[in-house]
Amino acid sequence: MRNVARTSLVDAAIDELRREIARGVWPVGTKIPSESQLAQTLGMSRLSVREAVRVLAHAGLLHTRQGDGTYVTATDESKVALRRRLDTAAAMDIIDVRRGLDLVAARLAAGRRTEEDLAAMRETLARRDAAVRAGDLDGFADADVEFHVRVADAAHNALLADLYRSMSDALRDSIRPQEQTELDLDGSHDDLLRAIEDADVTRAVAVSVAILDQQERHL
């Protein structure tokens, strides 16, 4: 990082740390240097650095663990804001949003999927089915969400995939059954995979609608 000398040292430190996080100098999940190291690198006081870290932690980019250090939790504040909004969204609101995203993902995936995409979808469906048989509620939710993320990946539209991943935590909460008796191998997700395999755009969209209709009935 370059040495900083500006009127507002705290603002300068915030800008510099935000820039380094966005550049991936410290990937998500990694610990940033200590306050003293950052202060030396930036050429400013530890107090200014401490305040900058506090601001970025409040914004959701950093998280300070008492006695351990400060870790990067996100690289984009807009995604943090979206994630916080999704955390408080009603299940029906999530279904409504998915009616837009899922149908586009299914349509594009049916036309663009590769053999690698299909293999990834098959693997996640196998884990989903295994979770149903084992009565594993969390495993079922994880695999179900990952399957839909894989469909979005198969659309080969980076923005669509990013949007789907940004709402994956909220999606997981809306999908996870409350009781083992709610787990069901209804075959609809296998139908979606087959439609995508067959490059059948119309059927892929129709199955996606049916899946969302079924989930809405369970709310």
- 3-class secondary structure for 58-108? HHCCEEEECCCEEEECCCCHHHHHHHHHHHCCCHHHHHHHHHHHHHHHHHH
- Secondary structure class of 2 (helix, strand, coil): coil
**What does the alpha-carbon distance between residue 64 and residue 54 come to, in Å, rounded to a whole number?**
9
At residue 27, φ and ψ (nearest 5 deg) are -65, 160
Look at strands 62-65 and 69-72 and give their pairing. Answer: antiparallel
- Taking alpha carbons only, the member of 100, 122, 104, 124 closest to residue 112 is 104
pTM attached to this predicted model: 0.62
**What does the alpha-carbon distance between residue 200 and residue 174 come to, in Å, rounded to a whole number?**
28
Q: Which domains does the chain have, with CATH numbers?
A: 9-75 (1.10.10.10), 79-217 (1.20.120.530)
**What does the alpha-carbon distance between residue 18 and residue 75 come to, in Å, rounded to a whole number?**
8
Burial classification of residue 56, based on how many CB atoms lie within 10 Å of its CB (0-12 exposed, 13-18 middle, 19 or more buried): buried
Q: Do residues 41 and 33 make contact, with C-beta atoms less than 8 angstroms apart?
A: yes
**pLDDT tens for the chain, residues 1 to 219:** 554 444 478 888 899 898 888 888 998 889 999 999 999 988 888 998 999 999 898 888 888 888 889 998 887 776 665 565 555 556 678 788 888 899 999 999 999 999 999 999 999 999 999 998 888 988 998 999 999 999 999 999 999 998 888 787 777 777 776 666 566 677 899 999 999 999 999 999 999 999 998 888 776
